[in-house]
Amino acid sequence: MATDSELVYLDNNATTPIRPEVLEAMMPFLSRNFANASGAYRLSREARQAIDVAREQVAALIDARPEEIVFTSGGTESDNTAIASSVFCQPDRRLLVGSEVEHPAILSHFEQLKADRDYQLTLVPVDESGCLNEPAYEKALEGGPALVSLMWANNETGVLFPVREAAEKARASGAFFHTDAVQAMGKVPVSVKDSEIHFLSMSGHKFHAPKGVGALYVNRQARLHPYVIGGGQEQDRRGGTENVAGIVGLGKASELARTELEAGGDAKVAAMRDRLEENLIRELSDVERNGHPEKRLPNTASVAFKGIEAQGLLIMLDQEQICASAGSACHTGSLQPSRILSAMGMSAERATSTVRLSVSHLTTDEELERAIACIVESVKRLRKLRTGGQVVRAT
Residue 287 as a binder of ligand PLP (CB under 6 A): the answer is no
Question: For the packed helices 310-319 and 365-387, what is the interaxial angle rounded to 10 degrees?
Answer: 130
Q: How far apart are CA 305 and CA 321, in angstroms?
A: 20
DSSP state of 150: -
- Contacts to ligand PLP from residues 164-223, by CB under 6 A: 180, 182-183, 203, 214
- Contacts to ligand PLP from residues 344-373, by CB under 6 A: none
Nearest distance in Å: CB 202, ligand PLP: 8
Contact with ligand PLP (CB under 6 A): which of 155, 157, 354, 363? 155
Given the complex with ligand PLP, which of 76 and 328 has the nearer CB atom? 76
CB within 8 Å of 294: residues ≥ 6 apart: none
- Marked catalytic residue, from 89, 131, 330, 374: 330
Residue 98 as a binder of ligand PLP (CB under 6 A): the answer is no
Residue 75 as a binder of ligand PLP (CB under 6 A): the answer is yes
Residue 156 contacts residue 341 (beta carbons within 8 Å): yes
Q: How far apart are CA 188 and CA 299, in angstroms?
A: 10
Phi, psi of 98 (to 5 degrees): -145, -165
379: nearest Cα among 244, 284, 258: 284
Residue 299 as a binder of ligand PLP (CB under 6 A): the answer is no
Q: Which stretch binds ligand PLP (CB under 6 A): 1-9, 74-82, 185-193, 251-259?
A: 74-82
- Residue 330 is among the residues annotated as catalytic for this protein: yes
Nearest distance in Å: CB 154, ligand PLP: 7
Given the complex with ligand PLP, which of 76 and 195 has the nearer CB atom? 76
Given the complex with ligand PLP, which of 186 and 214 has the nearer CB atom? 214
Cα angle, residue 265 at apex, residues 272 and 376 outer, rounded to 5°:
10
Judged by CB under 6 A, the number of residues near ligand PLP is 13
181: nearest Cα among 145, 154, 146, 211: 154
Nearest distance in Å: CB 183, ligand PLP: 5
169: nearest Cα among 130, 129, 139: 139
Residue numbers of the site for ligand PLP (CB under 6 A)? 74-76, 79, 103, 105, 151, 155, 180, 182-183, 203, 214
Which residues are designated catalytic?
330
